[in-house]
Chain A
């Protein structure tokens, strides 16, 4: 049974004929009411008996069944690891596609296929949700949101749904969270968390914990004041909201001169981690604005940081700022992985973060907060001159720090050693797998810029991009021993690498990410490449694995765009090449040939 549904911001329900003419009139007119009509309601088809849907509970989210992938990184510790092992290093060569589906959309497909007992949900650019039978690929329902015509789209992508109870939740580009019935796709509630005209938008997969749906906001390039907000999963009512930039009188506010805190950025655009024992969520924050730090002297808390927020109240319980007064657009939005190791006779409850700034950060989490343990460079970086052994605070080579009137080159590029694509951790190997880019540098200079609501507020000029002379590769998949903090192996790609990583108990690590459109599998222990398959487009999607009816599947979306494409354009310009990666989203599902 296929149903279609989409949402209307007001509570009106319109029959199809009325709604079409109403929409046309509103779309053509110049009235301010344009934004009130976001899309169309169509009545669902006459119902056949609905499929069963397993309600998602707190217990299931804390300890998900091995066969399921219920959230962005499968588990709250953000490992991106599956205990399934029917597909393993000995048989992965037999992996073949078993079904595929066009998403009907172009641009960068980044969302993981989320699977709950045989029902798969994917999101696509422009806020579509597709629900499939995970084993057969039958399309169950589709939700398509229509953006307001006057939206400034920001990054046209979406990183996936959250599941809770009987509902599916998505954060939208027009800064709303929409709750859909998991069985039919019908809208249950649709709640704005900010005004999209103010430069705010959302792309991240929400985080569902204990009856709360949490999201952060994008817009670090547009002078927003970032925040994390928690909504009641049943009603959409706001439970708490915590700004990532402290206001007047709050600790840390003094790290901003004048009014710069009001437009300081610190967006949150990747799903956080959660420690159930501590009741704390861990969020990464992005860059400050405008881009060069001389425009806002001071540490600029809490930009480029990790924050610990109490899940019940949203209160800030600790933080660590990876690098102060960011001037390189090095967002630190990736959530840290929660990895515990035995060291010096005790359990160290770790937070591990392969940073945009090119360093692999090892921190410790506790009820009292977050403390620095160690940091190691995982790509060539020419900005830090030292790191304080106690606090982790870096000192800078000012010649590589852009400012107004000071054109500076710095490495890695503004996309960092690793951008948003998530790393994965395998408890079997003890390795952290990092999708990295090496041999790339950026150049820019600051310029004076006046804040205009909703508009670009980066204040950078003369920007350029270079590939290191003589470089034989750019992309890398690195494996690091988390306990010894040593690199175990590296796979090099000629192409840049925008591939999120999946690790499995079968001893295989999967990622796409390259311009040749391949989906790759590597031996998790040795890094030997075991398999690859050429898909329709470049893969920037988060791969997942799940089991239905005793059969293990691996799924990923292939569809190039957004910053992967932006970087490729810069590489081509620097090298005088023209690398074509046609866009177009497809969901791919693989299984062993003899299944």
Chain B
């Protein structure tokens, strides 16, 4: 939600996030720098073919995509642990404002999956 206008940014599913709280010692330095009180947020759109990353591998503490079973490690910049996804999920840096989670900066990394055939220059 935009704090000033109170408008929820749900115009596209590309804004979909997955948010999880992890133990402090489960975070890499890079990820800790984007976390707020152990909470991390990432794009929920799989970088393989754009499915919604909706599953959770509890024993390993990994996000898992139901389409082709790519797994991402939220404690380490959502890097790809296994499966066909070509790169990690875009990370959304967070902060705490008056006890509420807030977005600190825009996505780090590319949201969604790569498409060949981009017009040159894009």
Interface residues of A (CB under 8 A from B): 6, 19-20, 23-24, 27, 30-32, 34, 39-40, 104-106, 125-126, 128, 144-147, 149-156, 221, 455-456, 458, 565-566, 569
Contacts and interface: CB of A to CB of B under 8 A. Distances in A.
A510 B61 CA distance: 46
B54 to A, nearest CB: 7
B11 A146 contact: no
Given A153-B48, A565-B84, 9 more contacts: A30-B12, A32-B12, A125-B116, A128-B117, A149-B12, A149-B115, A150-B13, A156-B49, A455-B66
Nearest to A143: B117
B52 interface: yes
Nearest to A142: B117
B122 A147 contact: no
15 contacts: A19-B119, A24-B122, A30-B14, A31-B11, A34-B14, A144-B117, A145-B117, A149-B12, A155-B49, A455-B54, A456-B51, A458-B66, A565-B84, A566-B68, A569-B83
A316 to B, nearest CB: 31
Given A153-B49, A569-B84, A23 B119 contact: yes
Contact of A146 (B15, B83, B118): B118
Contacts of B96: none
A149 B121 contact: no
A150 B43 CA distance: 12
B50 interface: yes
B113 interface: yes
Contacts of B14: 30, 34, 149-150
A147 B11 CA distance: 18
Nearest to A144: B117
A23 to B, nearest CB: 7
B67 interface: yes
Given A30-B9, A126-B117, A150 B66 contact: no
Interface residues of B, number: 26
Nearest to B120: A20
A144 B119 CA distance: 9
Contacts of B122: 20, 23-24, 27
Main secondary structure of the interface of A (DSSP, over half): loop
A38 to B, nearest CB: 11
B115 A40 contact: no
Contacts of B116: 104-106, 125-126, 128, 144
B112 interface: yes
B11 A152 contact: no
Interface in B1-40: 9, 11-15
A273 B55 CA distance: 39
B66 to A, nearest CB: 4
Contacts of B49: 152-156
A154 B48 CA distance: 10
A147 B114 CA distance: 10
Contacts of B117: 6, 39, 104-105, 126, 128, 144-146
A32 B14 CA distance: 11
A145 B51 CA distance: 20
A145 B116 CA distance: 9
Given A30-B15, A569-B84, A20 B121 contact: yes
A433 B95 CA distance: 62
B115 A126 contact: yes
Contacts of A105: 116-117
B84 A153 contact: no
Nearest to B118: A146
A577 B21 CA distance: 35
Interface string B45-75: 0001111101000000000001110000000
Contacts of B51: 152-153, 455-456
B67 A456 contact: yes
B86 to A, nearest CB: 9
Q: Which of B11, B14, B54, B117 has the most CB of A within 10 A?
A: B117
A456 B70 CA distance: 14
B52 A455 contact: yes
Nearest to A126: B116
Q: Which of B11, B54, B119 has the most CB of A within 10 A?
A: B119
A149 B113 CA distance: 8
Given A150-B13, A569-B84, A456 B121 contact: no
A147 B119 contact: no
A423 B66 CA distance: 30
A106 to B, nearest CB: 7
B52 A152 contact: yes
A31 B62 CA distance: 31
A380 to B, nearest CB: 26
A54 B20 CA distance: 60
Contact of B115 (A23, A146, A569): A146
Contacts of A106: 116
B115 A147 contact: yes
Contacts of A154: 49, 67
Contacts of A152: 49-52, 67
Given A31-B11, A569-B84, A153 B119 contact: no
A420 to B, nearest CB: 16
Nearest to A33: B11
A23 B13 CA distance: 18
B94 to A, nearest CB: 19
A245 B59 CA distance: 39
A515 B27 CA distance: 38
A125 B115 CA distance: 10
B56 to A, nearest CB: 12
List the 10 shortest-distance A-B pairs measured between CB atoms, nearest first.
A153-B49, A144-B117, A456-B66, A30-B11, A152-B50, A40-B119, A105-B116, A30-B12, A153-B50, A152-B51
A151 to B, nearest CB: 6
B78 to A, nearest CB: 19
Q: Which of B49, B52, B84, B112 has the most CB of A within 10 A?
A: B49
A565 B115 CA distance: 19
A151 B12 contact: no
Nearest to B67: A456
A111 to B, nearest CB: 15
Contacts of B119: 19-20, 23, 39-40, 146
A574 to B, nearest CB: 14
Contacts of B121: 20
